[in-house]
Copies of this chain bind each other. A is one copy, B any other.
C-alpha cells in the first residue's frame, strides 16, 4: 500500500461535473490499494470573482490583506466540501479539512504566507481510519489563529509540504498538461514529454517561463526531497517525474528549452565603474516592486560601463520612472535606453556541467538561422539568450532541432 498525495488545480475542479470526475479518480486511486490525500484548489474563476467583489467594496484602497485571506480561503473551502460530498455519493469515505484543521501553520504574512510547520496528526488519524482526506490548498493558519493564504502556486506548495510531512510515497500534481515537455508543444510541434527531470532543471525551466509550476514549490520539494509527478488529470498516461539528480540524468546534455515572451530591456550607459553604483540602481528597482530577470554588465574599458537588465514588459514603465530621476547621480554622461519587443530563449540541462560546448552549439545554430543575440546569461545548467520577440518561436524550433530533443 502506498501513501499518495494528489493535487487538482482550479480547471480540474472548475464545475460540479468536473468535481464528480475528480472524485471518481481519487476514489479509483484509493481502490487500487493506496491511502490518498487530495489537495484541491478553488474552482476556476471563483478567486477572480472574489477579488472583484473585494475591489468593489474597497474601491480606493487595496482591500485589507487580513480580510483578503478570509475571503479567498472560502474558494478552496467550497471545493473541499463539494469534492468530499461527491466521493461520498460514489460510495467512498471522504473527509474535508481546511488548512487550519489540517495543521498547516504559517507565518502571519497575509496573502503571501510561508509555511512554518505542519502538524499532520489529524490527517494521519483520518488516513488510519481509511478515510480519503480532501485538503484545502493555498491556505493555512497563523500562530494566533488567523486565516492565511500562501500566494501564487500555493496549492502545489500545500501538496508538496503535506507529502513531506506525512512522508508520502508519491506526490502527484494533476494538471491540464501531460507533463513537462522539451519545449512548449504549441510552439515546437515535435516537442517530447520528459520522463524524468531533476529539481534543478525543473527550477530553471520554471524560472524561464515553462509555467507548469511555480519555482517556489519545486524549491520546497528539493529542500525536503519530495519526489513528485506532473501529470494530466484527464488521462492515465505517465507524466514527468521530478526528483533528485542521479548520474544517469547527465547523459542528456540539454533537457529542455523554454521561452519567455513579452520581455523588455533597460540599459544604463556610461555609469562610473566604481563600487556601489549597481547597488544603488538595483535597490531602487527592488523598492519599487519591479521584478527583474537577467542582469548583464560587461568589463569596463574607460572607467565607465553599461549595465543592462531585463524585466517583464508590463513593468517597464515603472522601472523607467524609478531610474529617470537617479540618472544625474550616476555619473556625467549617463543615459538610459529601453527596448521592448524582445524575448528570452533558454536551454536547460544538468548535463551541461560535464559537457562543454553547449553554448557554442546553441549560438552557432542561432547564427545559421540568422537570429541576432542581444544578451547572453548563463548559469551552471542553463544558457539563456535575449533575442527579437518576433523570431522567438522560430529560434526555439531551430535550437530544439540542433540538440535533437
Contacts and interface: CB of A to CB of B under 8 A. Distances in A.
20 contacts: A16-B56, A16-B57, A17-B56, A54-B82, A57-B83, A57-B86, A57-B89, A58-B85, A58-B86, A58-B88, A63-B85, A63-B88, A63-B89, A64-B85, A66-B95, A67-B88, A70-B81, A70-B98, A73-B77, A77-B77
Contact of A82 (B53, B81, B89, B147): B53
A57 B19 contact: yes
Given A63-B89, A101-B145, A81 B68 contact: yes
A61 interface: yes
Contacts of A59: 89
Given A57-B19, A66-B95, A88-B64, A82 B71 contact: yes
Nearest to A64: B88
Contacts of A23: 57
A68 to B, nearest CB: 7
A227 B98 CA distance: 36
Contacts of A89: 57-61, 63
Nearest to A84: B67
A64 B77 contact: no
Interface residues of A, number: 41
A77 B70 contact: yes
A50 interface: yes
A344 interface: no
A287 B71 CA distance: 41
A96 interface: yes
A392 interface: no
A310 B140 CA distance: 51
Interface string A128-140: 0000000000000
Given A74-B78, A77-B74, A101-B145, A53 B16 contact: yes
Nearest to A95: B66
A101 B101 CA distance: 12
Contacts of A54: 81-82, 85
A308 to B, nearest CB: 41
Copies assembled: 2
A60 B61 CA distance: 46
A20 interface: yes
A89 B86 CA distance: 39
Given A17-B56, A74-B77, 8 more contacts: A16-B56, A54-B82, A58-B86, A60-B89, A71-B82, A71-B85, A73-B77, A101-B145
Contact of A67 (B17, B53, B61, B96): B96
A71 B16 CA distance: 13
Contacts of A19: 57
A80 interface: yes
Given A16-B56, A57-B20, A78 B85 contact: no
A68 B82 CA distance: 8
Interface in A191-209: none
Contacts of A88: 58, 61, 63-64, 67
A82 B146 CA distance: 16
A58 B86 CA distance: 6
A302 B140 CA distance: 72
Interface in A1-52: 16-17, 19-20, 23, 50
Contacts of A85: 54, 57-58, 63-64, 67-68, 71
Interface in A214-268: none
Contacts of A70: 77, 80-81, 84, 96, 98
Nearest to A101: B145
